[in-house]
Structure 1
Amino acid sequence: MNFAYYSQTDPGLVRENNEDCVSTDADNHVVVLADGMGGYNAGEVASAMATSFIRTELGRWIAEGGHEATARELRRAMEICTDNANRSIFNAANSEAQYAGMGTTLVMGVFQPTRAMIGHVGDSRCYRLRGETLQQLTRDHSLLQEQIDAGLISPELAQFATHKNLVTRALGVEDTVLLEVNEFRLEVDDVYLFCSDGLTDMVPDDAIAAILLETGSLEERGRALVEAANEAGGRDNISVILVHSTARMVRRGLLSRMLGNG
């Protein structure tokens, strides 16, 4: 399986600064997206720390032999890298006054020939487009999602809720954090979308699916998603990472070509 990547982050039309951060390691097939929170520039610091630390540490682990790792081994590596990033952010938030209260959500993916390992903390999401079906693969760690799960509010009314951005998990808030990791089987021509809530709060899932289905190249689709969020008001920072799986071309041997086989 081959993979193509595209990432973009945009401040939107209302916020003066961009507290989102995206990072991609195409060599080791690692993608990381974080949506920071905190006063002044603290959100930017938290999201940058999370994406840089996890991409670097996880990429190094994969490069040093993790390409053939089992799902269990890879899950553990993702958890350890996230825990270390969380402790770094937590310690900075508690030792530097200007960083007090900072934290960040996280969504990340590691791609292998037959599987995608998706991890997340908070309400940044991962979707998969397979054929013409867009499926949300992550479940928000948020107060609103807990209320939906408990039957206290319907998904239809939830889109109008005023507390939709209150997360129940985030990096940097406590000295430990639980990364939720799930494994998904890869198929040729899957498109994975990692995004912050600056996209999903502004663009409904059916419109996201339409853009991914109707637009051209991976870059054009990524740019179209960001443009759609801005056209809808751009009330928050908008970040997207797209990953497209394609079949790896296998070269036929010389003898096979000479004999006309295959």
Structure 2
Amino acid sequence: MDLSEALDIVRLTDVGLLRSHNEDAIASDASIGFVILADGMGGYNAGEVASEMAVLSITAELKEALGSDSSHYVLPDIDRPVLNKEILKKLMIDAVAYANASIYHASQTYSQCAGMGTTLALGLFINNQLLVGHIGDSRIYRLRNQRLVQITEDHSLLQEQIRAGVITPEQAKYSSHKNLVMRALGTDPEVELELNEFNVEVGDVYLLCSDGLSDLVDGELIQSALNHHMLDLTSAADVLVRLANEHGGNDNISVILAKVNRSYDDKNTWYDNFVGWLK
């Protein structure tokens, strides 16, 4: 089946109240269950270059590999049971590595792009699971049974201080180091994508967001907004952006919402097309 039958996906980005341009980039493709968000930084207006390069490059790589004609992708000689995870993880890692190399090369080649980079959050829904990759402090949350849980951990100085017990999560809300990331795409020749997998349940809602939302709107308010607008993801996205602007709007605000409407562990999915030629 087309995964758009199992997933509702809505995305929205807003420049906010104080910035002159938007350095966030977002994309999604419900047919293959793919979502991606990047929050650019550095250079003279080059953050938007880095985030757009990341989203365009990774989206193109994955759509090419996961489209209906995927037999051109060379698979290693491994047994089918690991294909649903290990091959797809490798696809994500390779796509991110290629984007990182491209952004880094541009930053080293063009003076106006020097120092640019971007955070990254991406997800791939497959066989009732979600593969999650992230770099930096853009986040992914899961709303399940009306409870919101952050399923990524920021690669930031603030998170390192919390982990080390230097500050508490409550103190972190008022820290002046919120935007100091410890890992970013495109700032170094190589970068490690943190990759995890989660079981998915019907009724789950997944939120990808830039720190323009998470820095200004606390988890309880996000949870309340999502629960109130559960049946209308477009309204939910609008409300989240409005809340961020009402709380200062001092950064670009981007959100992607994906709701799981039905099981997608069926036969005849794109996954079966992807490996069918092996039979």
Q: Same fold (TM over 0.5)?
A: yes
Instruction: Give 2:76's aligned residue.
Output: none
1:182-193 paired onto structure 2 within 5 Å = 182-193=196-207
Report the alpha carbon displacement of residue 164 of structure 1 after superposing the two structures with TM. Answer: 1.1
> Corresponding residue for 1:229?
244
**1:259 matched to which residue of 2?**
none
| Matching of residues 211-226 of structure 1 within 5 Å | 211-215=225-229, 216-226=231-241
Query: Is the Cα contact below 8 Å between 2:120 and 2:185 reproduced in 1?
Result: yes
1:246 aligns to what?
A: 261
Alpha-carbon shift at residue 41 of structure 1 (Å):
1.9
Unaligned runs of 5+ in 1: 250-262
Work out whether 1:26 is the aligned partner of 2:37: no
**TM-score, structure 2 as length reference:** 0.86
Query: Aligned residue for 2:59?
Result: 55
> How far has the Cα of 1:93 moved from its partner?
0.3
Which residue number in structure 2 is paired with residue 260 of structure 1?
A: none
Q: State the shift of 1:200 in Å.
A: 0.4
**What is the Cα deviation at residue 26 of structure 1?**
1.9
For 1:52, the aligned partner's letter is L
Aligned to 1:254: none
Can you list the C-alpha shifts for 1:60-94, whole angstroms capped at 9, x where unaligned? 1112169x942111111111100000000000000
Task: State the identity as a percent.
Answer: 49
Shift of 1:187: 0.5
Aligned to 2:272: none
C-alpha distance in structure 1 between counterparts of 2:90 and 2:107, whole Å: 26
- Give how far 1:248 is off: 5.7
| Counterpart in the other structure of 1:256 | none
SS class of match (2:155): coil
**How far has the Cα of 1:22 moved from its partner?**
0.3
Indicate conservation of the 8 Å contact 2:202/2:263, yes or no. Answer: no
Q: Distance in 2 between matches of 1:84 and 1:118?
A: 18
For 2:37, the aligned partner's letter is L
The DSSP-based 3-state class of the residue aligned with 2:90 is helix
Letter matched to residue 42 of structure 2: G
Aligned equivalents of 1:27, 1:161: Cα separation in 2: 41
Does the 8 Å contact 2:103/2:117 carry over to 1?
A: yes
Greater mean deviation of Cα atoms: 73-82 or 117-126: 73-82
Write out the 4+ residue segments of structure 1 that deviate beyond 2 Å after TM superposition.
Answer: none
1:128-183: CA deviations, max 9, x gaps?
00011100000000011001000000110001000111000001110000000100
What TM-score results when the alignment is normalised by the length of structure 1?
0.92
CA distance in 2, matches of 1:31, 1:247: 18
